[in-house]
A and B are shown apart, each in its own frame.
Chain A
Amino acid sequence: MESHSGPGSEAAGLATGEAATALAAIGASRSWLSDRVIAPCWFHPAFGLLAGAVIAEAEIRSVMLFAWSVAVYTIACGALMWWNQQRVGVAIQYFDWRTRAVYAAHVLALTGLIAAACWLGLGREINGAFLAAGIVAVPLTVVFGRWTDRLLQVRLQAS
C-alpha cells in the first residue's frame, strides 16, 4: 500500500501529461467501442432484402405464402439481431430520442410504401406495384439502418 501525505496528494502529483494520456486512453477505448457496435456492411442490406422480399412477395397475392413470409421475416430479423448482439458483446441502450425518431421515420416510410403499393396494386390493379415497393424498401432500410448506427456511434464517442 502506498502512503499518502494527505487528500489530493496523488492527484496533485499527477503531471498534466499523464492526465492527458489517461484521457486519450479513455477516448481510444470509446472509439474502439463505437467502431465495434457498427454493424458489418452486409447487415443492413440483409434486413433490407428481408423486408423487400416480404413486400415484393405480396405481388403473388397468396395469403398463405404472405403469412409464411412474414413468419420467416420475423425469425430471420430476430436471428440477425441475436447474432449481432453476440458479435458486439455488450448490452447497450440502443434507443435514445434521436435513434427512436429515426426508427419511427423508418417504420413510417415503410408503412407509406406498403400503403402506396396496396393502393396501386389492389385498388387500381397495377401489376408490379408490390415488386417495385419491395425494391425501394431495400435501400430505404439500408439508409435508415446506417443512420441509426451513425447516431449510436456519435453518442458513444461523446458520452
Chain B
Amino acid sequence: MNTAARFDEIVHAPNRLQICAILSAVDSADFATMREALRVADSVLSKHIRVLHEAGYVDVHKTACAGRVRTSVSLTSAGRTAYAGHVAALQAIVSNEGLQPGVGLRSPVTTSG
C-alpha cells in the first residue's frame, strides 16, 4: 500500500517520532516500556503522549493490575496514517526527490517538544 507523503509537525518532534516508531510496530506498549525506550522522565513522556492524544493519534488505556494502575498506549488509525505519511515525507526528502505537490503540512495542534 502506498502512503501519501505528508509532513506532520506533531509526529516530527524527536521524542514523539520515537513513540510513534515503536507504537506503529506493536498493538500497544506500556508506559514504563516507552519511558525506558526514550530514556526520559515520566513527566516528559506524559507531555508528549498528551500532545499525541490531543491530536487523536494515540489512545491511552489504564488497567488495574495487582493493585497497580498499568498505563498502555496504542496508535489510532489516524496516528498510523500520520506516522506512515510522515515517514514517507522524510524518505522523499532523503532520497532527494524533493517535495511533491501533494506533500503537505499538517497544521499542528501544538508545536511544543
Complex: A14 Cα to B108 Cα, angstroms: 16
* B101 CB, min distance to chain A CBs, angstroms: 9
Is the CB–CB distance between A159 and B103 below 8 Å?
no
> Is chain A's interface secondary structure helix, strand, loop, or mixed overall?
helix
Is the CB–CB distance between B104 and A23 below 8 Å?
no
Instruction: Produce 1/0 per residue, B88-106, CB < 8 A to A.
Output: 0111011010010001110
Is the CB–CB distance between B24 and A159 below 8 Å?
yes
Is the CB–CB distance between A90 and B110 below 8 Å?
no
Q: Which residue of A lies closest to B9 (CB)?
A: A10
Q: Does A105 sit within 8 A of B, measured CB to CB? A: no
Chain A residues contacting B30 (CB-CB under 8 Å) are 89-90
| Contact residues of B between 22 and 81, Cβ < 8 Å to A | 22, 24-30, 32-33, 36-37, 72
* A142 CB, min distance to chain B CBs, angstroms: 25
Is the CB–CB distance between A19 and B18 below 8 Å?
no
Name the contact of B7 in the complex, choosing from A11, A20, A29, A90 (C-beta under 8 A).
A11
* A87 CB, min distance to chain B CBs, angstroms: 10
Range, interface on chain B:
35 or more
Binds B, one of A1-9, A45-53, A64-72, A111-119: A1-9
A11-B99, A29-B18 given; A22·B26 CB < 8 A:
no
Is the CB–CB distance between A4 and B29 below 8 Å?
no
| Contact residues of B between 1 and 24, Cβ < 8 Å to A | 7, 9, 12, 14, 17-18, 21-22, 24
Name the contact of B94 in the complex, choosing from A12, A16, A36 (C-beta under 8 A).
A16
Is the CB–CB distance between B90 and A90 below 8 Å?
no
Q: Which residue of B lies closest to A18 (CB)?
A: B93
Is the CB–CB distance between A33 and B26 below 8 Å?
yes
Is the CB–CB distance between B99 and A23 below 8 Å?
no
Complex: A8 Cα to B91 Cα, angstroms: 15
- CB<8 Å pairs between A and B, sample of 29: A1-B108, A7-B105, A8-B7, A8-B99, A8-B103, A9-B105, A10-B9, A11-B93, A11-B103, A11-B104, A16-B94, A19-B91, A22-B14, A22-B17, A22-B90, A23-B87, A25-B18, A26-B18, A29-B21, A30-B21, A32-B22, A33-B25, A33-B37, A89-B30, A90-B26, A91-B26, A91-B28, A91-B29, A156-B25
Known: A8-B105, A25-B21, A92-B27. 4 other contacts (CB 8 A): A7-B104, A25-B14, A90-B26, A90-B33
